[in-house]
Structure 1
Amino acid sequence: MLEIFADDMGVSYSQVRTYRYTAGRWPREHRAEGVAFEIHRILEKLEDRFEQIAKPPAHPRTGKARWTGDAAKRLVGWQVDTPRSVQEKVEAIHDLGSDEQVAARVATDFLRRPGVAFRAAGDQAGTPGNVPSEIPRLVDERVTQMRSGSAPARPRPSTGSLTWLQLSRST
């Protein structure tokens, strides 16, 4: 029966099952008028969902109290589509960097920024497995060279070439 309904609507059977489950979690008297079905779906697993949906957070841009997909996802602890906080941005980068090739490329690109490399070396120094032990020394040497003006001028490494940290070993 649901398969026929799904076919008639032009959606998958699993989508109809999701709609049905969500509708079952939200009796008519507890559904929030003017709030998207998607928000109800996101909040459906909360025990206090009927109270929560009645208290929309302030919209970050307008300040007006209304639900957005990201606001609902924040409430339930899901990853948001548009990260705002530092932690949300870090989680998004970790998610994108779950592929080893992507992670290696991004790490290399980030470490090309002297300020980032210096901070990473300082934050992670002494943490086994996070940063090779020579990085803090290389960063210190490179910063000293840059400050004294003795660092050789060289073009910014292009994609796929050695990083500035690797290049500083040859100076």
Structure 2
Amino acid sequence: MRTVVESMLPATFLVRYAIYMQSCAHIELASWHIVQLAQGYELYTPARIEHFLKVKMSTSKLVEALRRSNSYGPVGIQLRIRLAAIRVKQGMTNRNLAAHGAWFHNDGKGALSVEHYFQQRVGDAKQWMHVDENISHRQIDEAVEEADLLLRELIDIREELKRYQKSTRSRLEFASAVTAPRTSK
């Protein structure tokens, strides 16, 4: 059965769109993991999971928490977290537009367009913004590539934080074993 959306949009776009949306989902998940690890917790720590889930449920809170997570670990990883947080924040509008916008294909021009309403802070107030614009295939390819590069960086940061956390714990366990009083038998 062919769906309505399949008749409205080219299959090649739908594949690229699915890749982009999954990249975006993984960007948010990797960012969430980095926030947990950068606060010194293992992933999904039961005592803190509710706190971290509240952070995850708001993209703006997640981005802010990621930005503040740059004080853990070696200086090089701190800088990488800071730079990644900037990129995550810069891409929020595009990811929101892609996720919530309605996409159209103009058969006459071969162009795609997207329409969406969202609120944006302007000064101290929020204003409704309307987007109705053409998006080229090149812009879509660039967005997919940028999302993939950002995701690769976040995954690498996450893995480096895991290694750092593990090595720090190993050193602490070794230090406490060395300094622990010995009991005689």
Q: What TM-score results when the alignment is normalised by the length of structure 2?
A: 0.23
**CA radius of gyration, larger in:** 1
Query: Would you tell me which structure has more strand in proportion to its own residues?
Result: 2
Report which structure shows greater RCO (CA 8 Å, sep ≥6): 2
Q: Please, what TM-score do these two structures have when normalized by structure 1?
A: 0.25
